[in-house]
Amino acid sequence: MKNKLKGTVTITRVNSNMEEDLIAIEIVDSNSRSNIARVTMSMENFAKAVTGFGYQEVTIEQLIDDEGFSNIGKTRETKTVWIKKPEEFLWDVDMSVYVRKVLDEMNAETDGWKLWDDGVRSQQNENLHRVIMVRYV
């Protein structure tokens, strides 16, 4: 028996001045919340397909890499880690490098946890810096 997974599908109409109107169908794994693939097709081919005319031409775009495929069917967990900013924080400090250094010192990337968002592009607390860790179980 094949492994059956829960997922979601979204069908949208893509309007563009550059191309014909297209239909996009996206498939997402419910557990890992990974976008698996996007199928695009002309509105004419979509209409034929949903009315029973099979084998219509489409374009299939893979949205995840090989590592992402290994997470399909697994549950995504996230956690917040707070890092104390340096005493004399200077704005020219490369926070990405600092975050990586502190996480290494904390041995934070164990038990499958990996840095997901280093928080550099978000507003942060005065003394603490928030990062998001993720793992798939």
Summarize pLDDT for 1-57 with one digit per residue, the tens: 577 889 999 999 988 777 678 999 999 999 999 999 999 999 999 999 999 999 999
Give whole-number Cα distances, 74 to 7, 19, 31, 34, 68, in Å. 12, 37, 6, 10, 10
pLDDT band, residue 123 (cuts 50/70/90):
confident
- Amino acid of residue 4: K
Confidence (pLDDT) at 98: 85
For 96-107, how does the pLDDT look when each residue is reduced to its tens digit (9 = 90+)?
888 888 899 989
Tell which residue, 133, 132, 125, has the closest CA to residue 85: 125
Domain boundaries, the chain: 7-69, 76-136
Rounded Cα–Cα distance for residues 56 and 52 (Å): 10
Which token pair is 129?
Answer: 């810096």
For 62-74, how does the pLDDT look when each residue is reduced to its tens digit (9 = 90+)?
999 888 888 999 9
Rounded Cα–Cα distance for residues 127 and 30 (Å): 36
Give whole-number Cα distances, 7 to 4, 34, 98, in Å. 10, 10, 37
- Is the model's pLDDT at 92 over the cut of 60? no
- Amino acid of residue 68: G
- Is the model's pLDDT at 135 over the cut of 70? yes
Confidence (pLDDT) at 4: 86
Confidence (pLDDT) at 104: 92
- Is the model's pLDDT at 89 over the cut of 70? no
- Structural contact between residues 29 and 36, judged by C-beta atoms closer than 8 angstroms: yes
Rg (the chain; Cα; Å):
21
Q: What is the DSSP letter of 111?
A: T
**Quick count: other Cβ atoms within 10 Å of Cβ 116?**
13
